[in-house]
Structure formats: structure tokens, C-alpha cells
Amino acid sequence: MAETVLAKDLMREGSTAYQAGRYPDAAAAFLQAARAFTTAGLKLDAAEASNNASVALLKAGDAAGALRSAEGTDQVFAEANDRSRQGMAVANQAAALEDLGQLDEALNRYTSSAELLKQSGDKELRAIVLKSISGLQIRTGKQLQALASMDAALDNQKHLSLRERLLQKLLRLPMDMIRRR
């Protein structure tokens, strides 16, 4: 019980530090929370804390630490049949791999994440991942796939800004031309 209270306090501390832009402090608090949740036998909460640490570590410039923190958490969520958090865990791994320059593996994990988020019905998170896929596809010379990924991302968003609506219309032109061939 005491470990659970401590872990929740550490989660709040981590969130406060993250929102203040103190990413190393946030990561440290989230990692301590993950250990406390693990000690208390709360695997899902520990995995969530580890994923929060992964995001903070990536923001702090420690991509290798971010990857270590997120590795295996997707399996915890898979065992709990939580496709949404599993998809986000895989996306966190992909983001770390992308920063480490492992672009092919990052693309594979982003693609897995998008599929998991599709299964979960979480269109907003899926749109974010599809945008990451599109950006990575552009970086790796896969422009046509990038257009399709961005189009799918925009289709998954509930509300589009004026800029996004314009982009969606522009994306549809080459996509329509390709379909007519």
C-alpha cells in the first residue's frame, strides 16, 4: 500500500516536471514510480510509468534510455488486451529508434503501432502515428507512401485545421491521379 501511494506521488511529480520542461527530472520520477509499482505488483501501472519515462527521456535527448524504458511494455499491455496503450508503447519504441537512426526498424514499429491503434479504435492517436510514418517515409525516399500515410492520418482526425483541410485536398490530387492509372 505504501509503495502504491509513493508511486502515485512520483507520477504526479513526474507530470509536473514534464509540464515544466524539466525532462530529466520527469524521467527520474517516472522511473522511480515504475519501480515502486513493480514492487507493489502493479504491472500495468509500472508499464505506464516506464512509457512516460520513455517520452521524457526522448525529450531530454536520451534516445537509448528512452528505448530501454519502453522495451517490453508493449507485451505487458498485450497481455492485458489493451491495444491502445500497446500501440502507444510500440510508437514510443519507434520514436526512440528513429532518433537512434534505425529508420527501417522505426518504420516497422510505427506501422505495427498504427495497426494496433486501428484495432483499438483510437483514431486520434493513430493519426499522430500515421503522421510520423509519413515523415519517416519522406526521409527514406518513399514519397508516394508518405502521401498515402499523410492522407490516412488526416482521415483519422476528427477536427482538421484550415491548413490540414487544404493539405488534404492537395494530397487527394496525386492520389486520384494514381488511382486512375
Q: CATH 1.25.40.10 spans which residues of the chain?
A: 1-105
Q: What is the pLDDT of residues 55-67, one digit of tens each?
A: 999 999 999 999 9
Considering the domain 1-105, what is its CATH architecture?
A: Alpha Horseshoe (1.25)
Lowest mean pLDDT among 6-20, 99-113, 118-132: 118-132
The pLDDT assigned to 123 comes to 86
Residue 110 has pLDDT above 70, yes or no: yes
Largest CA distance in the chain: 65
Q: What are the angstrom distances between the C-alpha of 11 and each of 4, 23, 52?
A: 10, 13, 9
Residue (of 22, 57, 59, 81) closest to 71 by Cα position: 57
Q: Model pTM?
A: 0.81
Rounded CA gap, 86 and 107, in Å? Answer: 16
Q: What is the pLDDT of residues 125-172, one digit of tens each?
A: 888 898 888 888 878 777 767 666 666 666 766 776 777 767 666 666
The pLDDT assigned to 179 comes to 66
Ranges of H-type helices in the chain: 2-19, 23-39, 43-59, 63-70, 73-79, 83-99, 103-120, 123-139, 143-155, 162-180
Residue 96 has pLDDT above 80, yes or no: yes
Q: What are the angstrom distances between the C-alpha of 37 and each of 69, 117, 138?
A: 14, 25, 40
